[in-house]
Amino acid sequence: MKTKWFSWLSHPESLLSCLTLVMLGWIYKVDPTFLQWEVQKELSTHIWETALMALPMTLIILTGGIDLSIGSTMSLCAITAGMLHQHGVPLPMGCLAAALVGLAGGWFNGWFITRLKVHPLIITLATMAAFRGIAEGVSQARPLSGFPKSFTWLGQASWLGIPLAGWLFLGCLALCAWIMHGHRLGRYIHAIGYNEVATRYSGIRVNRILLGLYCLSGLSASIAAILFMARRNTAKADIGAGVELGVITAVVMGGVSIFGGRGSLFGVCLGLVLIHETREFVSWHWSRDELNLLALGSLLILSVVFQQLLGHKRSS
Amino acid sequence: MLGLLKQRAAGLFCFTFLALGLVSLINPAFLAWGNLRDIAVQAAPVCIISCGLMLVLVLGEIDISVGSMMGVLAASMGAMVSATRWGLSPWIAVILTMILGTLMGALNGWLIAYLRVPSIMVTLGMLTALRGVTEVIMGGTWITDLPPGIRYLGTGSWMGLPICLWVCAGVIVLSTWLIHRTPLGRRIFAIGSQPRAAHLAGLPIQRVKFLVFAWTGFLTALATLVSVPQLSVVDSGIGVGMELLVVTCVVVGGTSVNGGTGHLSGVVFAVLLMTMISTLLIFMKLGENATYWSRAIQGLFILGAILLDHLVRSKKSS
Amino acid sequence: MSAVWQWGSLSRVRTPKPTMSALQAKQISRSYGGTRALSEVSIELLPGSIHALCGENGAGKSTLIKILSGVETPDSGEVTLNGQPIPLGRVHAVEQIGIVAVHQEPVVFPHLNTVDNLFVGREQSKVGGLWLNKKGMREQACQIMHSLGETFSLDIPVGQLSLAQRQMVSMGRALLQECRILILDEPTASLSARESKSLFATMDRLQQQGVGILYVSHRLEEVFQLAQQVTILRDGQCAGTQPTSSLSRSELIRMMVGRPVENPSRQQKKTKSKSDKPILKIRGMRRDPVFQDIHLEIHAGEILGLSGLVGAGRSEIARAIFGLDPVDEGEIWFEGRCLPEGFTIQDTMAMGMAMVPEDRQREGLVLPASVEDNLTLPSLIELSGWMGMHRKPRHEASRSLIEQMGIKTASRASSAQSLSGGNQQKIVLGKWVYRQPRLFILDEPTRGVDVGAKEEVHRMIEQLAAGGSAILLISSDMPEILRLSDRILTLCQGRIKGEIASHEATQEILLQWALPEERDALS
């Protein structure tokens, strides 16, 4: 009997579900107005970009890697689209160019990781600086705006109460869930995270998969940039600063092991909910934005410590 | 490899010299004593922290929380001495700030060395959490009334050189002694070089890691104390981006991110070079827009260092 | 004349020191999973004497050394030094009481120079740990390295030194320690004649100081010339301890292999008809310095055994054939088609090759993943379609494989980690068996596998051959190779030493070929 209890508890997702319910319950007790649909809708307009980028980040962390450059890629893509628009290029072409820039950025990271065997941490730390630096240099830190109504409509439109960005996320989530559970790529990703050597020796093209994942991460950053521009009608070089922290925290809180292999998208969704609600509630109830940062940072550290204590082993 | 590293330090030295020479040709005002002194003063805090971060990288770990640590230390120092806040004496504030810095580093060290949490996660979390703490301490307003006692640390001089340069020189001397003349220094390099052998040799790996992170915290406090009082205002944005600058300097200076190697002279030259870049850009008369490219150039340097590292590694193995 | 011969004539004259035993190990046993690595082994080392330890691969030598040096703990038995039990399992503590081991793979810090390597952890300093006595340490390091006959600069990072020099640094670090017992594991394997000579001089000096030396080696001429006593291990048990003066080389070899094993099923092999064209043909394959001049052929239905000592290059050849490692030179034909230059594992798999790697935990299995995931991993492409993986065929494949291979597991979804060594090995085999390869490379297929599972694996291998696959079998288990193979190649130091049909082969012949001869000149 006892073993049954513990085995259920040892899954981070179960613990996370409990934690989420407990937290929501506590929030309801403290301030029920927070949980109203209207309020939630208002506060959630910006979460979809983070959520979208969390999907490839989950896959990357599952393989044992990391991508710190998504915020800077966002910035570079936004500046690309914005500058092109300023020079008269029609916006759809600009967005396409932004997507290509995102793909190129991800490919750049992936190339260093797979060919030069540089640790993902170091190269994405470098591109985190380089990409934002290029954006700052090109745009001279000036904001760009004045996007056409047809574009900004994308940012305001919603269906059944959920904005377009939200539907995009849900669609991508469904796709990722299918990939992870129904497609062989999912099996490969878990295997690479658990034991890259054995996976290579089973004939799987590990380098190709990793390169693809980092490209995907870059692409998601570019889409997030476009969504941001549509929502806020502005493109500036400081877009996305610090967004990587929120994404990584959500993924790690969602039970994905930082050493790779173990984790699920369901957990990441819970992690996103937890982070988002915590952040918003802290701002809402105490009206102090700075507590946000404190809460977020502490959450990341606590969840990693927790993972460590639960005994997630490092694969040699 | 030592030869190559010494080459790296020498290479950086030459590069710096050449850049200086080039800029002076275009704009002789660059070589003015006042300008050079300003560059050194700007470089000093970066250099101080880099001495600590170099050892972190040699161990094979990383610390990206130093910038936020600076923020907390600046805010708390300001709050301590400001008459409108806590109004403590500058001496007490200095001591408390040093203790606080060391404690923050020790917290990192404890989580990383004893709880075995990966350093990237701990310091990433700290980076954010401490930035939040900074905001909390500042309470939404800037601190504008730093008393002259504390401002002396930033603006004062001794024998013609600013205090920060003396402190920086002291830290460099201290670090050189630590690396080359103490058992601890040898053990840091050994652990970073081959952790398995270090384990078999019975080296106190966890204690060493803990000390290195605590030391970095201490140095961050020192850097804060000599740089922040240069201005009369303490704002909540202090230290933002410092961690990236420091890591860039350390990596460009020849420290391998895989651990085991590192040369202090390379790091010092890299610091000089990197802090000169923004000033260089201005003096090169490329227009005021050129400074916007400083972060890009930083990124380029670190990418170059990574490529160079890779070339060295593949040359070694072939 | 070799350095050892000159040396040997002197050491034979020496008589052993007083009878109080220095190091005594009694009834040491150690198992890994289901396999018994050591079974009630006892050994006694007298002070001031050199005691040799001999045995084939897998006989238990390295396990014994690990236990004596504190890397591992025994399951039962005790080890005493001058009557006092030693702190088992803690290397540093064992070193403190004077038992120092120099392992075959030098354990050094590649980025540090020689002086630092020798002294790290026990640095000499003045002013109570605040100022390193660099001059003093350097002088001592110089002294030790000179006594070992090494003159390379002490400032170069050790990672840049040759393997032999690194081995000497490792030795130097051991010598720096005040030792009463010195354990040397294949010390001359990577040394030249000159370096070996200095090593023997050092050993002699230590012997005079009363240090007891345990000398593990495959170089039998060294064993006879240096050691007074030799202990032979066989299949984890002590096959005997004899003074070297009373043994001949062939007697020693016989003690190492035991009684030759008769295999009745070998009669059946002779009637197997071989097809004309070989499935695998290799000409002139080379990768310096690991293997050279490799020529071999395997036909359909044939099992080619590859025997030899650890480090002879067998696994490296297997990995090169499978496409995991590059080759410098050589032609490989598979079913008549020549493999292109720079071929990869994807090419070889597509052609119909499979390989079971040596290290099943690190290279063969994704341990935390489920049995089903592991079994179907290389074949997911075949088990998928446009809409993703076909669930039913995948379940069916894993279910039938579990049955076919006899894998004992609670369910398909259990983690591979929870299975025994034998069942884990069956998973590795099974995932490749599913693909019905034309060439099957097996590297130590029954290492760490219990007797029952071993039988099953052997039967499976024979079935595969009967079904038409060609099999390259690498094994350190002599009876296994003799029983299963049709032909056996023996590798020694990267070269093929001999080829023999299995019904004519004996363990002694194979071991003779496998052992390195009277010092081949190494650079």
Structural domain spans, chain C: 1-98+211-258, 266-514
Give the N- to C-terminal CA distance of chain B in Å, as an integer. Answer: 14
Asked if A195 and C365 come within 8 Å (Cβ–Cβ), the reply is yes
Q: DSSP label at C364?
A: I
With 0-12 CB in 10 A as exposed, 13-18 as middle and 19+ as buried, what is C152? middle
Q: Is C94 left (phi over 0), alpha (psi -120 to 50) or beta?
A: alpha
Please write the tens of the pLDDT for every residue from C106-128: 788 999 999 999 998 888 888 77
Residue C57 pLDDT exceeds 80: no
The dihedral through the CA atoms of A229, A232, A237, A240 has a sign that is negative
Burial of A107 (0-12, 13-18, 19+ CB in 10 A): middle
Strand stretches in C46-168, DSSP E: 50-55, 76-81, 84-85, 99-102, 125-126, 131-132
Residue entry with tokens 């289901």: C34
Q: How far apart, in whole angstroms, are the C-alpha atoms of residue A304 and residue C121? A: 32
> Sign of dihedral through CA atoms B113, B116, B117, B120?
positive
Q: Any alpha helices (H) in chain A, and if so which ranges?
A: 2-9, 12-30, 37-43, 47-62, 70-86, 91-114, 120-139, 149-156, 164-182, 184-194, 196-200, 206-232, 243-253, 265-286, 289-309
Nearest to A61, CA basis, from A302, A271, A239: A271
Question: What is the extent of the structural domain holding A61?
Answer: 37-309
Of C291, C265, C298, C253, which Cα lies nearest the Cα of C438?
C298
Residues of A in contact with B115 (CB under 8 A): 305, 308-309
Residues of chain A with Cβ-Cβ distance to C345 below 8 Å are 200-201, 203
Answer whether C108 sits within 8 Å of B197, measured CB to CB. yes
Of C374, C372, C342, C337, the C-alpha closest to C352 is C337
Point out which residues pair with C184 in neighbouring strands: C102, C215
Taking the Cβ of residue A241 and every Cβ of chain B, the question of whether any pair is shorter than 8 Å is answered with no
Look at residue A9 in the predicted model and tell me its pLDDT: 60
- Residues in chain A predicted with pLDDT less than 70, given as ranges, are 1-10, 311-316
Model confidence pLDDT, tens digit, residues B118-170: 998 899 899 989 998 998 888 878 888 788 877 888 788 888 788 889 999 99
Identity of the amino acid at B52: G
Per-residue pLDDT of chain B (318 residues; tens, 9 = 90+): 455 556 666 777 777 777 777 777 777 776 777 778 888 888 999 999 999 999 999 999 999 999 999 999 999 998 888 877 777 888 888 999 999 999 999 999 999 999 999 998 899 899 989 998 998 888 878 888 788 877 888 788 888 788 889 999 999 999 999 999 999 999 999 999 999 888 878 889 999 999 999 999 999 999 999 988 888 888 888 888 888 889 989 988 888 878 888 889 889 988 988 887 767 766 666 656 666 787 888 888 888 888 887 877 777 665
Query: Among positive and negative, which fits the CA dihedral C200, C203, C208, C214?
Result: negative
Nearest to C111 among B182, B196, B261 (CB): B261
Which of helix, strand or coil describes residue B39? Answer: helix
Share of chain C above pLDDT 70, in %: 91
C1-98+211-258 is classed CATH 3.40.50.300? yes
Cβ neighbours of residue A124 under 8 Å, at least 6 residues apart? Answer: A66, A67, A68, A69, A109
Check CB contact of A151 with chain B, cutoff 8 Å: no
Read off φ and ψ for residue B138, nearest 5 degrees. -65, -30
| Confidence (pTM) | 0.85
Label the pairing between strands C470-474 and A234-235.
Answer: unpaired
Pick the residue from chain C with its C-alpha nearest to A314.
C368
Please return the burial class of C276, using the count of CB atoms within 10 Å of its CB with bins 0-12, 13-18 and 19+.
Answer: exposed
Interface contact A141-B294, CB threshold 8 A? no
Closest by alpha carbon to A225, among A125, A56, A98? A98
What pLDDT is recorded for position C305? Answer: 93
Mean pLDDT (chain C) is: 83
CATH number of the domain bearing residue A155 = 1.10.3470
Neighbouring-strand partners of residue C285: C294
Of C92, C129, C157, the CB nearest to B1: C157
pLDDT above 50 (res C10):
no
Residue of chain C with shortest Cα separation from A190: C369
* pLDDT value, residue B288: 61
Query: Is cis: bond before C47, omega within 30 of 0?
Result: no
> In angstroms, rounded to a whole number, what is the distance separating the alpha carbons of residues C15 and B148?
84
State whether B299 and A289 contact (CB < 8 Å). Answer: no
Q: Classify residue A282 by burial, with Cβ atoms within 10 Å: 0-12, 13-18, 19+.
A: buried
Contact C305, C488 (CB under 8 A): yes
Could you tell me which residues are beta bridge partners of residue C31?
Answer: C36
Q: Specify the pairing of strand A234-235 against strand A144-145.
A: antiparallel
* Strand pairing class (C439-443; C353-356): parallel
User: Residue C369: which of A182, A194, A197 has the nearest Cβ?
Assistant: A194
pLDDT of C282 above 60:
yes
Find the closest chain C residue to A191 by CA distance: C366
Using only C-alpha atoms, chain B has a radius of gyration, in whole angstroms, of 20
Kindly indicate whether the domain formed by B31-317 is annotated with CATH number 1.10.3470: yes
Q: Minimum mean pLDDT among B2-11, C42-51, C56-65: which range?
A: B2-11
User: Does residue A198 sit at the C interface (CB-CB below 8 Å)?
Assistant: yes
Nearest to B128 among A123, A128, A296 (CB): A296
Higher pLDDT among residues C8 and A33, named by residue: A33
Select from B162, A267, C168 the least CA-distant residue to C154.
C168
Question: Which of A118, A297, A305 is opposite residue B127, by nearest beta carbon?
Answer: A297
- Measured between alpha carbons, how far is B251 from B255 in angstroms, rounded to an integer? 5
Task: Determine the Cα angle at A13 with ends A12 and A16, to 5°.
Answer: 85
**Which string of DSSP letters, residue by residue, matches B224-252?**
HHHHGGGSS-B-TTTTTTHHHHHHHHHHH
Please say if the pLDDT value at position C4 is more than 50.
no
- Tell me the percentage of chain B whose pLDDT exceeds 90: 37
Strands of C207-302 (E only): list them.
212-216, 229-234, 237-243, 278-287, 291-299
CB atoms A198 and C384 under 8 Å: no
DSSP of A28-45, one letter per residue?
Answer: HHH-GGGGSHHHHHHHTT
User: Which of C32-46, C198-212, C349-363, C413-427 bottoms out in mean pLDDT, i.e. has the lowest?
Assistant: C32-46
Rounded CA-CA distance B292/A238 in Å is 12
Measured CA distances, C189 to C1, C197, C493 (Å):
19, 13, 10
pLDDT score at A56: 97
Q: Give the helix/strand (H/E) hosting C45.
A: strand C35-45
Inform me whether the pLDDT recorded for C5 exceeds 70: no
User: What does the pLDDT read at residue C194?
Assistant: 78
| Minimal Cβ distance to B296: which of A117, A133, A300 | A133
Quick: pLDDT tens for B42-59: 899 999 999 999 999 999
Q: So what's the pLDDT on residue A4?
A: 53
Interface probe with C: pick from A175, A184, A199, A264, most Cβ of C within 10 Å: A184
Widest pairwise Cα distance in chain B: 65
For residue A21, being part of any structural domain is answered with no
- CA gap C206, C98 in Å, rounded: 13
Q: How far is CA C231 from the centre of its chain?
A: 19
Residue that is written with structure tokens 């227009």 in the block:
B287
Residue that has been written with the tokens 């056409």 in this structure: A148
- Cα Rg, chain C, nearest whole Å: 25
HEC letters along B210-231:
HHHHHHHHHHHHHHHHHHHHHC
Identify the closest residue of chain B to A109 by CA–CA distance. Answer: B303
Report the domain count for chain A: 1
pLDDT score at B282: 65
CA distance C86 to C74: 12
Q: Rounded CA gap, C87 and C75, in Å?
A: 14
Q: What is the pLDDT of residues C395-406, one digit of tens each?
A: 999 999 999 888
The residues in C 304-323 lying below 8 A from A, measured between CB atoms, are none
The pairing of beta strand A162-163 with beta strand A234-235: unpaired
Other residues' Cβ atoms within 10 Å of the Cβ of residue C509: 17
Query: Which pLDDT band, with edges at 50, 70 and 90, does C489 fall under?
Result: very high
N-terminal to C-terminal alpha carbon distance within chain A: 34
Same fold flag, C1-98+211-258 and C266-514: yes
Q: Give the C-alpha separation, B62 to B192, whole Å.
A: 12
Domain C266-514 coded CATH 3.40.50.300 = yes
**Measured between CB atoms, does A249 come within 8 Å of chain B?**
yes
- Enter the ipTM: 0.85
Measuring CA to CA, which residue among B140, B298, B162 is closest to residue B230? B162
Q: Is B105 in contact with B212 (CB distance < 8 Å)?
A: no
